[in-house]
Amino acid sequence: MEERGEEKGVKEEMDGKREKKDMVEELLEAEGGSFSEEEMVDFCLSLLVAGYETTSVLMTVAVKFLTETPAALAQLKEEHENMTKMKGENQLLEWVDYKSMTFTQCVINETLRVANIIGGVFRRANTDIHFKGYTIPKGCKIFASFRAVHLNNEHYENARTFDPWRWQSNNKLQNEVGANLFTPFGGGPRLCPGYELARVVISVFLHHLVMRFSWEAAEEDRLVFFPTTRTLKGYPINLRRRPESV
């Protein structure tokens, strides 16, 4: 940030006012240049984690789960092949196509639930909270664990098993009660503003992946959850273009 701030001053003297080129320049000029270096660094890290890291990890984990669950992969392929036949070859995806990807959304929901890309969020108690015989005093910081709820067998049968079909049959997950049991994007006024965009990006990715390619795992890999959710090796795969998609 220090180097870019110095470069900005030199270049403005040489070239006059320049067009904004990237996030760093936006931050340097935002609010009249009043952001501190610490605030700008925090914005950049938040952008990388929330806007890139979470979605890319979710894509990787979805591919892993689908590879390990052939029946789910077959049904996903069938959904996208049928949609493509109805649209015609080489047609761009539209919003109505995205909304028709019902099983794709089941896959995304279940990947979010099992993997818990965001394990939880920190909050502060605005009042004394009484919960199961305990009192959390006003002002205390609280860590609300999404993983503890998403992997609880009281809420999800065989909670640690990847089962996208549960989202087709369990109406409880679609009502108000379910809203408190499935919170991969948080909730309330702090709901992630990019939750729908993330779903769109992953849906489009899965569409092109299953329509154009086949693959298998190149080597064994596993999920780890600390300090963040990820695969140890990045889940390497052997990728081949499907002959009919050439």
Binding positions:
192
Binding positions for heme:
192
Identify the weakest region by mean pLDDT among 142-146, 161-165, 225-229. 225-229
* Unique residue bearing structure tokens 């006024």: 189
* 77-132: pLDDT as tens digits: 999 999 999 988 778 999 999 999 999 999 999 999 999 888 888 889 999 999 88
User: Is pLDDT larger for residue 124 or for residue 11?
Assistant: 124
User: Is pLDDT larger for residue 138 or for residue 191?
Assistant: 138
Band the pLDDT of 246: cuts 50, 70, 90: very low
Query: Which residue pairs from 105-109 have beta carbons closer than 8 angstroms and sit at least 24 positions apart in sequence?
Result: 105/167, 105/199, 105/203, 106/164, 106/165, 106/166, 106/167, 106/168, 107/62, 107/65, 107/66, 107/72, 107/76, 107/164, 107/206, 108/58, 108/62, 108/199, 108/202, 108/203, 109/164, 109/167, 109/182
Sketch out the chain's domains with CATH numbers.
Answer: 35-116+146-241 (1.10.630.10)
Main-chain dihedrals φ then ψ at residue 133, nearest 5 degrees: 85, -5
* 130-161: pLDDT as tens digits: 988 999 999 999 998 999 999 999 999 999 99
Q: How would you class 216 by CB atoms within 10 Å of its CB: exposed for 0-12, middle for 13-18, buried for 19 or more?
A: exposed
Residue 23, pLDDT above cutoff 50: yes
Which two structure tokens, joined as six digits, stand for 80?
């996208």
pTM of the predicted model as reported, rounded to 2 decimal places: 0.82
